[in-house]
Amino acid sequence: QLVSTDRKIIRDILISKSREVAANLGLEIIDVQVKRIDLPSEVSSSVYLRMEAERERVAREFRSQGSEAAERIRADADRQRVVTLANAYKEAEKLRGEGDARSAEIYAKAYTEDPEFYSFYRSLNAYRQTFNKPDQMLVIDPESDFFRYFKSQK
């Protein structure tokens, strides 16, 4: 009780008890201060173990609070990551769409200016992609429209 209770209560009890004895001796007790508490060794080890258990409990509580805060921070960071990636993907798709629209506009303009050249250019690209791989075989009718520019010699 000396270790765990309020010291003022102990002080008041000691003063009231010692005033009775001191009055018989002609003394007046004004104040009492506890300077040191010596406990028996079996009690001392028990007190130490209780103090250690209490400190361990407090440490576990702090660790638990720290883990909870860390988990909250991780969850928030993950959420921000997802939001950032979604926004970046949205912006990339928007830019890609704008680029495709601009490309289609340029192709349409080129096609309307010279449809024959545009058709020839697209055929060249098709030839390049088709004949770029030497290990592939192409089975196609030589009279097909695919070879139109190979046949014409204007």
Would you give per-residue pLDDT tens digits along the chain (154 residues)? 555 667 778 788 888 888 888 888 888 888 887 777 777 777 778 878 888 999 999 999 999 999 999 999 999 999 999 999 999 999 999 999 999 999 999 888 877 888 777 777 887 888 788 777 777 777 777 777 776 766 655 5
- What are 93's two structure tokens? 């798709």
Residue whose token pair is 């409990």: 57
Whole-prediction pTM: 0.44
d(CA 3, CA 6): 8
- Asked if 3 and 37 count as a contact pair (C-beta separation under 8 A), the reply is yes
Give the list of residues 6+ apart from residue 39 with CB closer than 8 angstroms, or none.
Answer: 47
SS3 of 28, please?
coil
SS3 of 154, please?
coil
Helices (H), the chain: 7-24, 41-113, 115-130, 148-151
